[in-house]
């Protein structure tokens, strides 16, 4: 195809759409350290994980060797309703930046859940149904994951209970309403439905709750309910596997149009989007077939890769999960309350952490006013109001494109637009009216977080 006639949106027909997830661990020369049982400090076995997670998910979690894993047909049928997601040439952004760089973005927000989270939510609900489970539990903070899972459970016919951090459910009544419209049961956490909830309420009746507490309540309920499991929306390897559909579609479209990306950029909270976006590209890098750069962008207020420690830590602030070797600020780290967007997780996917430790991925952090500045510019020229999370990637993509303007290099940049910001307007309001501020953790703040790291 003549490069001049390249379309603005790179199409894949249903026939061309990938049928496999990409298990990037199969490309890694060395695997991340094993999860440890929090009691014994020994590597977790399949038997440790199956009481909590679906069987197939445990099997995916522990599969380090199969590079391609087939997407089951019943799930493909659901994916077809929103996928392939648009892969768009940011022609207007390029023009506004006057850059010779070619910028592409993969738009994962074109579904009612508003984010990429649906890719794994659908897979997890599908497997739950296949395995004869009748219900699932989960937690949600800002609400993206809860919304995605509610959609998926409505579709596959699985009951869902969502523990939503109480203060979030009060601040975001519309998120709550979407989740309930999809038929899920939403319980503000802490609640009187669990032992841990009751005990927290007893000691602090007015607490607004925390993600750690919501996770603990969701796990407790799943353990007590027959044919029920707990599910998680990020961090774990099987979640990154499901998210690899993002990268698989990008790779298929780039191959079809003979495009080779030079820089691939993703925002990083728990790492699910970034891991999914880069999955099929990372092998080429590891095996020396590509010089592409991979950039993880995190908020300066929660900088696990750029200022954290590479250590074993709990996955939750409630200190109940297996121990994961990852870049972490410590399970007790809490970002400053003025931090507006998502990406508040104290740790980072073990896969992303290992790739970063081994030098395959770069990382940088951005302050939120700069992130919203990039978001507003992007909205104006490309016509999509991005989620604050996604806007971290936009900021880095703009910076790289501006560098190209300065050097004259015609690089090809791909970034992940993980979602839309329609339910984050209070953050945009504070940016628009100038009341948004930046706060970066001090060395003391970091030390306080590190002090909560477990001794392994």
Paired tokens of 202: 């007893």
What mask, x for binding a copy of itself by CB under 8 A, covers residues 136 to 165?
Answer: ---------------x--xx----------
When asked if residue 183 is in the footprint of a copy of itself (CB under 8 A), the reply is: yes
Query: How does DSSP classify residue 34?
Result: P
Could you tell me which stretch among 40-48, 81-89, 192-200, 223-231 binds a copy of itself (CB under 8 A)?
81-89
Name the residue nearer to a copy of itself (CB basis): 14 or 406.
14
Distance, CA of 362 to chain centre: 17
When asked if residue 420 is in the footprint of a copy of itself (CB under 8 A), the reply is: yes
In this chain, which of 264, 350, 428, 445 binds a copy of itself, going by CB under 8 A?
Answer: 428
Could you tell me which stretch among 171-179, 247-255, 359-367, 393-401 binds a copy of itself (CB under 8 A)?
171-179
When asked if residue 110 is in the footprint of a copy of itself (CB under 8 A), the reply is: yes
Span between the terminal Cα atoms of the chain, in Å: 56
Query: How does DSSP classify residue 364?
Result: E
Name the residue nearer to a copy of itself (CB basis): 49 or 179.
179
When asked if residue 387 is in the footprint of a copy of itself (CB under 8 A), the reply is: no
Task: Kindly report the length of the chain.
Answer: 456
User: What whole-number distance in Å separates Cα of residue 292 and Cα of residue 355?
Assistant: 14
Name the residue nearer to a copy of itself (CB basis): 17 or 234.
17
Name the residue nearer to a copy of itself (CB basis): 112 or 193.
112
Smallest distance from the beta carbon of 295 to a copy of itself, in angstroms?
25
Tally helices (H) and strands (E) across the chain.
18, 14
Residue 417: beta bridge partners?
Answer: 107
CB 302 within 8 A of CB 367: no
Q: Would you list the DSSP string of 291-309?
A: --EEEEEEETTS-HHHHSE
Residue 282: which of 18, 23, 12 has the closest Cα? 23
Residue 69's CB is within 10 A of a number of other CB atoms, namely 18
User: What whole-number distance in Å separates Cα of residue 348 and Cα of residue 369?
Assistant: 23
Residue 149: which of 120, 185, 129 has the closest Cα? 120
In this chain, which of 36, 58, 71, 88 binds a copy of itself, going by CB under 8 A?
Answer: 88
Smallest distance from the beta carbon of 383 to a copy of itself, in angstroms?
5
When asked if residue 77 is in the footprint of a copy of itself (CB under 8 A), the reply is: yes
73 burial class (0-12, 13-18, 19+ CB within 10 angstroms)? exposed
Distance, CA of 90 to chain centre: 22
In this chain, which of 55, 91, 198, 439 binds a copy of itself, going by CB under 8 A?
Answer: 91
Name the residue nearer to a copy of itself (CB basis): 82 or 306.
82
What mask, x for binding a copy of itself by CB under 8 A, covers residues 14 to 33?
Answer: x-------------------
When asked if residue 170 is in the footprint of a copy of itself (CB under 8 A), the reply is: no
When asked if residue 11 is in the footprint of a copy of itself (CB under 8 A), the reply is: yes
Name the residue nearer to a copy of itself (CB basis): 134 or 432.
432
Residue 279: which of 242, 310, 315 has the closest Cα? 242
When asked if residue 381 is in the footprint of a copy of itself (CB under 8 A), the reply is: yes
Could you tell me which stretch among 1-9, 35-43, 245-253, 443-451 binds a copy of itself (CB under 8 A)?
1-9
User: What whole-number distance in Å separates Cα of residue 33 and Cα of residue 89?
Assistant: 38
Q: For 220-232, give one letter per residue: b (16+ CB within 10 A) or e.
A: bbbeebeebbbbb
How many residues belong to the site for a copy of itself (CB under 8 A)? 46
User: What whole-number distance in Å separates Cα of residue 313 and Cα of residue 448?
Assistant: 14
CB 68 within 8 A of CB 378: no
Query: How does DSSP classify residue 412?
Result: E
Could you tell me which stretch among 88-96, 125-133, 239-247, 330-338 binds a copy of itself (CB under 8 A)?
88-96
Smallest distance from the beta carbon of 194 to a copy of itself, in angstroms?
24
In this chain, which of 429, 447, 451, 456 binds a copy of itself, going by CB under 8 A?
Answer: 429
Smallest distance from the beta carbon of 379 to a copy of itself, in angstroms?
6
In this chain, which of 23, 60, 99, 111 binds a copy of itself, going by CB under 8 A?
Answer: 111
CB 84 within 8 A of CB 10: no
When asked if residue 74 is in the footprint of a copy of itself (CB under 8 A), the reply is: no
Smallest distance from the beta carbon of 359 to a copy of itself, in angstroms?
37
When asked if residue 42 is in the footprint of a copy of itself (CB under 8 A), the reply is: no
CA 184 to each of CA 117, 151, 232: distance values in angstroms, whole numbers, following the listed order: 16, 9, 16
Residues within the interface to a copy of itself (CB under 8 A) = 7-9, 11, 13-14, 77-78, 80-82, 88, 91-92, 110-112, 114, 118, 151, 154-155, 173-174, 177-178, 180-183, 376, 379-385, 420, 422-423, 425-426, 428-429, 432
């Amino acid at each position: 195809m003549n490069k001049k006639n390249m379309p603005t949106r790179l199409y894949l027909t249903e026939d061309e759409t990938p049928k496999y997830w990409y298990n990037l661990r199969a490309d890694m020369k060395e695997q991340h350290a094993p999860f440890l049982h929090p009691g014994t400090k020994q590597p977790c076995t399949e038997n440790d994980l199956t009481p909590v997670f679906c069987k197939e998910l445990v099997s995916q979690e522990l599969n380090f060797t199969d590079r391609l894993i087939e997407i089951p047909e019943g799930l493909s049928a659901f994916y077809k309703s929103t996928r392939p997601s648009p892969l768009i040439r940011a022609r207007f952004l390029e023009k506004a930046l006057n850059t010779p760089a070619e910028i592409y973005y993969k738009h994962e927000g074109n579904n009612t859940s508003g984010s990429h989270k649906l890719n794994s939510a659908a897979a997890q609900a599908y497997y739950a149904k296949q395995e004869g489970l009748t219900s699932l539990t989960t937690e949600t903070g800002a609400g993206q994951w809860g919304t995605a899972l509610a959609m998926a459970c409505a579709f596959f016919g699985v009951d869902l209970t969502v523990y939503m951090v109480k203060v979030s459910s009060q601040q975001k009544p519309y998120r709550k309403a979407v989740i309930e419209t999809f038929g899920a049961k939403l319980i503000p956490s802490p609640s009187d439905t669990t032992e841990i909830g009751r005990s927290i309420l007893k000691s602090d009746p007015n607490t607004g709750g925390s993600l750690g507490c919501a996770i603990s309540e969701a796990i407790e309920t799943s353990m007590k309910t027959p044919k029920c499991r707990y599910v998680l929306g990020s961090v774990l390897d099987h979640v990154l596997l499901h998210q690899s559909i993002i990268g698989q579609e990008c790779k298929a479209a780039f191959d079809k149009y003979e495009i080779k990306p030079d820089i691939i950029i993703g925002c990083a909270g728990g790492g699910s989007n970034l891991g999914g976006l880069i999955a099929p590209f990372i092998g080429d890098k590891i095996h020396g077939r590509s010089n592409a750069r991979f950039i993880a962008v995190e908020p300066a207020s929660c900088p696990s890769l750029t200022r954290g420690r590479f250590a074993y830590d709990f996955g939750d602030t409630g200190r109940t999960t297996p121990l994961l070797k990852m870049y972490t600020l410590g399970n007790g780290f809490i970002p400053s309350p003025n931090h507006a967007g998502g990406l508040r997780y104290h740790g980072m996917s073990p896969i992303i952490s290992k790739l970063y430790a081994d030098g395959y991925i770069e990382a940088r952090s951005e302050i939120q006013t700069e992130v919203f500045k990039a978001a507003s510019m992007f909205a104006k020229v490309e016509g999509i109001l991005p989620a604050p999370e996604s806007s971290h990637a936009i900021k880095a993509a703009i910076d790289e494109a501006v560098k190209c303007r300065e050097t004259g290099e015609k690089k090809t940049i791909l970034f992940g637009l993980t979602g839309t910001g329609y339910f984050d307007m209070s953050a945009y309001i504070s940016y628009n009216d100038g009341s948004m501020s930046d706060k970066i953790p001090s060395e003391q703040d970091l030390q306080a977080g590190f002090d909560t790291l477990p001794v392994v």
